Structure 1
Amino acid sequence: MQRSRSEAHSQEKLRRKKRLKRRIIVNFTLLGVIIILLGVWLAVSNSDKLSEWFDIFGDGSNGQEQAGKPSTDENTPGNVILPSEEPDNSNENGVNALPEDDAEVIDSEPAASDDDKISLSFVGDLLVAEYVSAITEREGYDYLYKEALLYLSEPDLTAGNLEFPITKRGTPVVGTPYVYKGSPDVLPSMYNAGFDVMSLANNHALDQGVEGMLDTMSYLDEAGISHMGAGSNDTEAFAPVIKEVRGIKVAYIGLSRVVPFPSWKADKYNAGLAESYDTTRANAAIAKAKEQADIVVVMVHWGKERVDKLEPYQTDFGKQYIDAGADLVIGSHPHVLQGFEMYKGKWIAYSLGNFIFTSYPKETAGETGVLDALCTKSGDCELTFHPMFTVNAQPTPLEGDAAKTLLDRLSSISFGVRLEADGRLVSD
């Protein structure tokens, strides 16, 4: 069931793009016709031969030929014939027909080459609880993604970190300061917004015990959203999700360097998380995924909360993941944005901060955004960060000076990387 709904989701995103392209083509065509007709009208209006124009194209008030007017009789040598300037798009009933929005459009797509590119997008932590819940009760869950919708739905694949269990059961864990639980009702809005993949490798996945974690996986399957980073054993937890777009395979691996209890670590006989305190198992999983896919994305939960300064192991681990075969390393957990780095031509985003989060956003905790990666089959990616700030639980795009301020700050905390005014990441 997961495969079919996930494939349907990808096809729906593709259909949205095709519908948008068709509408743009039709609108520009109509605009061009209007401009041409307006130009002709203005030219004729200013001509001394205005009456001759009407004589040629008008049918006359009494049906008789006027002096000096060429005959419009089809057998008369002076007959004026205007060639058709547009193809006939009419159907068998004589009515102009455009493709229906939902009509199936068959494209012949060649096998992917290194010149082909796919768009991958990423956000930080998603946690729909507390003050956010009060807003969704009033506005509905879809409200959360309204301002950022195009950034989420238009890319080929969109991924985030789901930092709370989705379950109606479970036993709350004891011994941690924050324990969360979410309703399955939150998932359809995530699917509709465009999310394809969620990492479960984080320090809240087992807030409601193993039962809650397994329920989360089942509900995500039902919603058509793929997941990784947790499982009924270590083999399942470290296994990648592999998505294919236009012949390019992308493997997503979820890892966590933040695991509250040793019992939460998945092993041969224990359900839990794919942990990365020791990188041996993680690096082996990455190398194996690289044999199965063209592009490998590692989504890792790490670092220190509420600070944009990195822990020393983050730079070490990020580079190890790339050495093992990762093409992109995407971090979460600090709840604030951290910087970017390029290593051996591959990108590390140390933290994408909060996207939808339970605590009221203040200062850097409210800074967020969507990271776009335009990648070739060979794993070379161009990154663009779209800066946003959370307003009333909605990630809202920034413009002008506000956008520049955030992009400049990200440049200042990055490593040999600057962000241009349009959000593009450039390695110095």
Structure 2
Amino acid sequence: MPLSRSESRQREKRDHRRRRAFQLSMIVAGSIILLTGVGVAVNQADGLPDWLGGNGASEELAVSSPSPTRDAAGGVAASASPDAGTETPAPEPAEDGAVEQPSDGGGGTDERVGLSFVGDMLPGEYIAPIMAQNGYDFPYQKALLYLSVPDLMIGNLELPITTRGTPVEGTPYVYKGSPEALSAMRDAGFDIMSLANNHALDQGVEGMRDTMRHLTEAGIGYMGVGENDKEAFAPLIREVKGIKVAFIGVSGVIPFVEMKADSHVPGIAETYETTRATASIQSAEEQADIVVVMVHWGKDGKDTPENYQRNMARAYIDAGADLVIGSHPHVLQGFEMYKGKWIAYSLGNFVYASYPKGQLAETGVLDALCGKDGDCELKFNPMLVIQSQPTPLEGASAEALLSRLSSISIGAEVGSDGAIVGK
């Protein structure tokens, strides 16, 4: 029986991921053998900007290529199953508002699904000259194995993808990205993008609709915007290994009230208060095993959450959320466990700026290994953005970033291996 277009695309993507992971693991292994054989010591800080310890700075920055597999006890295990990472394009809301994807054929009761998250993604604007010179895939190259291993890879898309649109007036920053950037994002491993943020309508409703269309054509799912509030608040549901995961996108940062999605108004799912968000969570809980809320909130540049963030996160969990993943502050914030469920208040910038400094350069990939009961084990893989590339850290540099994250977490500790545990 011939495969459907959707099934064919799923198989093609799985095969592509396996080939890419194998090729990269061979490169990493070959590099290690070569360096070991000739006894070469590599100073990876050479040629870096002086604020990163390059150009003769006395303290060497330790960065590394990611391991071709990751420890399942501490995060997302490398998947050898041909069914891992199932994805289908063109999500369409059902009558109840949910967007559901077919099962990938798994279903064991002991199965766990690997979900990984990054912060703000801006594949354009500030890094456009670098991508024009090096290709749209350039920002992902150093972190590629961390992006391709999880069953589902999720981020926050911080700009409209369109060649048209009318720039919004009255806001300090107005963004726009090329549709050509999406194939590289998809091939790097990204499956889902939240569009619920303050830049979703930077190019008006036309730009928002183009973004939705281009993501669908690229085979990347989305949530958090729509032609009305029913669509905007609708969960995107994916099934992997027999486990249904619902993703909801909401924003507490919207420039103008008319950008909020309503019954007859296209726009963004808002969470200035929690009524509609919690209703969406409760509906999703009835349809899925795991509910993930992606929320845009907080104060720009502040590495600890505001009180309202903590209150909202708890309201989401009380309503049935299993994971709450935040963005918008552009810096990393800490973690908190509440009633056995995890909150990541901000994952900072991931692909955003070319030469960010200080805390703006700190980033990483958050792994969540979750069972069907919604219980998740978390691990944070620390990275630093160098010339627009999130670059894995190792040694003292990794431990320093993880230690700082631990110090700003609430009732939680981040170990030297990145594992996050409750106190």
Of the three residues 409, 420, 423, the one matched with 2:404 is 409
Instruction: Summarize deviations over 1:90-149 as a string: whole Å, max 9, x none.
Output: xxxxxxxxxxxxxx9799x98634421110000000012333111001100111100000
Matched, 1:354 2:343: no
Whether the 8 Å CA contact 2:335–2:409 is kept in 1: the answer is yes
State the structure with more CA Rg: 1
Residue 239 (structure 1) aligns with: 234
Cα distance in 2, alignment partners of residues 184 and 279 from structure 1? 33
- The 3-state SS of whatever aligns with 1:146 is helix
Judging changes above 3 Å, is the alpha-carbon distance between structure 1 residues 358 and 111 closer, same or farther for their aligned structure 2 residues?
A: closer
Of the three residues 271, 279, 289, the one matched with 1:294 is 289
What does residue range 274-353 of structure 1 map to in structure 2 within 5 Å? 274-353=269-348
Cα distance in 2, alignment partners of residues 354 and 180 from structure 1? 15
Residue 121 (structure 2) aligns with: 126
Whether the 8 Å CA contact 2:299–2:328 is kept in 1: the answer is yes
The unaligned stretches of length 5 or more in structure 1 are 25-103
Judging changes above 3 Å, is the alpha-carbon distance between structure 1 residues 390 and 257 closer, same or farther for their aligned structure 2 residues?
A: same
Residue 221 (structure 2) aligns with: 226
Of the three residues 267, 271, 284, the one matched with 2:266 is 271
Instruction: Summarize deviations over 1:285-307 as a string: whole Å, max 9, x none.
Output: 00100111100000000000011
Of the three residues 381, 398, 413, the one matched with 1:418 is 413
Task: Give the deviation of 1:6 after TM superposition.
Answer: 8.7
Whether the 8 Å CA contact 1:124–1:353 is kept in 2: the answer is yes
In angstroms, what is the RMSD of aligned CA positions? 2.4
Instruction: Summarize deviations over 1:26-85 as a string: whole Å, max 9, x none.
Output: xxxxxxxxxxxxxxxxxxxxxxxxxxxxxxxxxxxxxxxxxxxxxxxxxxxxxxxxxxxx
Whether the 8 Å CA contact 1:368–1:388 is kept in 2: the answer is yes
Instruction: Summarize deviations over 1:333-385 as a string: whole Å, max 9, x none.
Output: 00000000001111000000000113631100000000000000111100000
- The 3-state SS of whatever aligns with 2:119 is strand
Instruction: Indicate the percent of aligned positions where both proteins have the same amino acid.
Output: 61
Cα distance in 1, alignment partners of residues 156 and 303 from structure 2? 18
Cα distance in 2, alignment partners of residues 119 and 105 from structure 1? 14
Matched, 1:203 2:204: no
Moved more, 351-360 or 138-147: 351-360
TM-score by length of 2: 0.78
Judging changes above 3 Å, is the alpha-carbon distance between structure 1 residues 141 and 278 closer, same or farther for their aligned structure 2 residues?
A: same
Cα distance in 2, alignment partners of residues 420 and 254 from structure 1? 29
Cα distance in 1, alignment partners of residues 180 and 111 from structure 2? 37
Matched, 1:387 2:388: no
What does residue range 134-149 of structure 1 map to in structure 2 within 5 Å? 134-149=129-144
Cα distance in 2, alignment partners of residues 306 and 299 from structure 1? 19
Residue 177 (structure 2) aligns with: 182
- The 3-state SS of whatever aligns with 2:406 is helix
Task: Give the deviation of 1:422 after TM superposition.
Answer: 1.1
Matched, 1:194 2:194: no
- Structure with the bigger RCO (C-alpha within 8 Å, sep 6+) is 2
Paired amino acid for 1:154: V
What does residue range 361-400 of structure 1 map to in structure 2 within 5 Å? 361-400=356-395
Judging changes above 3 Å, is the alpha-carbon distance between structure 1 residues 106 and 264 closer, same or farther for their aligned structure 2 residues?
A: closer
Residue 13 (structure 1) aligns with: 14
Instruction: Summarize deviations over 1:241-293 as a string: whole Å, max 9, x none.
Output: 11111111100000000011000000011000000011011000001001111
